Amino acid sequence: MGNLAIFGGSFDPPHVGHVLAAQYVLSTEMVERVLVVPVFSHAFDKDMAAYDDRLELARAAFGQLPGVEVSDVERQLPTPSYTVRTLEELTARHPGDQLRLLVGADVLGDVERWVRFDEVCRLAPLLVLGRVGFGAENYPAVLPDVSSTRVRRWLQERPAPVALAELGRAVPAAVLRQIEARRLYLPA
């Protein structure tokens, strides 16, 4: 029972900005728990690594944080994955909790494309964190200037020394180990 942040996303791969977002809302007591929900089938047809790989990368990224759990709930829902469906399911599974949807400010530019966005906000009011380059000054906690797109590009460039140095600062070490073990994001 209590405040539960739902933190959905592709997590393709998860990076330090994702981990810091979860840590921030927990340490400032905005919420009591965070449920990380990797998207199963992206509603905007994004090309992503396999779901099971992204799920394990998320577990590697968030596994050391008390109060954070990684959920595979979207595996059990109809596709494509719509946030509103996920929130309806999680509302039923967590009837005593006040849900909040944790997002970075960069996501706000796409909300007009979301299915039943008004219902999303009713089920889980947005908890927006600032992100460099996306009106960060209007929200608490400015997240670092890192993105999964940039991380994938660096992985494609490996083993260039600059790419390796950037990766070490942008991606949790446990995630990098999983990427290597699973041979993900290899150069084309």
- Rounded to an integer, the average pLDDT of 28-56 is 92
Q: 2-145 falls under which CATH superfamily? A: HUPs (3.40.50.620)
CA-CA distance, 136 to 129, in Å (whole number)?
A: 8
Q: What is the pLDDT of residue 78?
A: 87
Q: What is the pLDDT of residue 136?
A: 67
**pLDDT for 162 beyond 60:** no
**pLDDT for 48 beyond 80:** yes
Q: What is the pLDDT of residue 42?
A: 83
3-state secondary structure (DSSP) of residue 23: helix
Report angle CA 139, 142, 143 to the nearest 5 degrees.
Answer: 125
Whole-structure pTM value: 0.92
Local confidence band at 164 (pLDDT 50, 70, 90 cut-offs): low
Local confidence band at 54 (pLDDT 50, 70, 90 cut-offs): very high
CA-CA distance, 27 to 60, in Å (whole number)?
A: 20
CA-CA distance, 61 to 125, in Å (whole number)?
A: 25
Q: In the chain, what are the domain boundaries?
A: 2-145
Contact present, 89 and 72 (Cβ < 8 Å)? no
**pLDDT for 138 beyond 80:** no
Which single residue is written with the structure tokens 């209590």? 2
- Rounded to an integer, the average pLDDT of 150-178 is 82
Cβ neighbour number for residue 42 with a 10 Å cutoff: 15
Cβ neighbour number for residue 86 with a 10 Å cutoff: 24
